[in-house]
């Protein structure tokens, strides 16, 4: 039986998924990533599927692998839930301003850790698929120039996440449980 949360994964998705941890295969990472990308790209006003949609690479890994990446790229040798590497550096913007849609064929790369994602989902009492989708939306927004370096930018990013997740019938991840 197909998980209804995965039923509207976008055919012709611009997402290339690399599975390093087989648990992601069972969790349906490919469909989750396609669904998150389609919703996020639509929100950004970009083509979400097919020819012309910006490419995204998602690697599903474990805590050991993401800790290595976190150490190499951020100087923090511990696991985290998700990391992202945009293909292009976003232009400067005023605090809280919505970034201009990126003009590139490749948005960038994402790594997501099964261990941390599953642990956080369990602690928050939510389905793994919902939490993973939220983290993927969050990471794709980073690829598109969003950040949370200050309160105004964090508000802008969280509002975008809420709007995107609402289109996917996923509850507000910032709502107190």
Q: What is the mean pLDDT of residues 24-52?
A: 95
β-sheet bridge partners, residue 16: 57
Q: For residue 44, what pLDDT is reported?
A: 96
CATH number, position 142:
3.40.390.30
- Is 173 within a domain? no
- Is 83 within a domain? yes
**Distance (Å, whole) CA 71 – CA 88:** 21
- Is 55 within a domain? yes
Going by C-beta distance under 8 Å and a sequence separation of 6 or more, which residues neighbour residue 160?
A: 43, 98, 141, 146
Give the closest residue to 127 by CA, choosing from 77, 86, 168: 168
β-sheet bridge partners, residue 84: 110
- Give the domain extent around 78: 8-88+101-167
Binding residues for Zn(2+), as ranges, are 138, 142, 148
The separation between the first and the last C-alpha atoms of the chain, rounded to the nearest angstrom, is: 29
- Is 29 within a domain? yes
pLDDT band at 167 (very low <50, low <70, confident <90, very high): very high
Per DSSP, the residues of 119-163 read HHHHHHT--HHHHHHHHHHHHHHHHTT---SSHHHHHHHHHHHHH
Per-residue pLDDT of 41-65, as tens digits, reads 999 999 888 888 999 999 999 999 9
Per-residue pLDDT of 98-128, as tens digits, reads 999 888 999 999 999 999 999 999 999 999 9
Number of structural domains (the chain) is 1
Binding residues, as ranges, are 138, 142, 148
On whether the CB atoms of residues 9 and 34 are closer than 8 A, the answer is yes
């Amino acid at each position: 039986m197909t998980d209804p949360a995965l039923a509207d994964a976008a055919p012709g998705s611009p997402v290339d998924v690399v599975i390093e941890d087989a648990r992601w295969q069972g969790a349906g990472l490919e469909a989750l990533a396609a669904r998150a990308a389609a919703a996020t790209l639509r929100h950004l006003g970009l083509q979400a599927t097919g020819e012309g949609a910006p490419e995204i690479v998602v690697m599903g890994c474990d805590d050991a692998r993401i800790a290595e990446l976190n150490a190499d790229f951020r100087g923090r040798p511990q696991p985290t839930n998700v990391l992202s590497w945009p293909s292009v550096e976003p232009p400067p913007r005023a605090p809280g301003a919505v970034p201009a849609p990126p003009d590139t064929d490749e948005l960038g790369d994402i790594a997501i850790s099964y261990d941390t994602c599953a642990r956080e989902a369990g602690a928050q009492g939510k389905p793994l698929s919902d939490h993973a989708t939220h983290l993927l939306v969050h990471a794709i927004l980073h690829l598109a120039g969003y950040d949370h370096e200050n309160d105004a930018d964090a508000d802008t990013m969280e509002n975008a996440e809420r709007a995107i997740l609402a289109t996917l019938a996923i509850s507000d991840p910032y709502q107190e449980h």
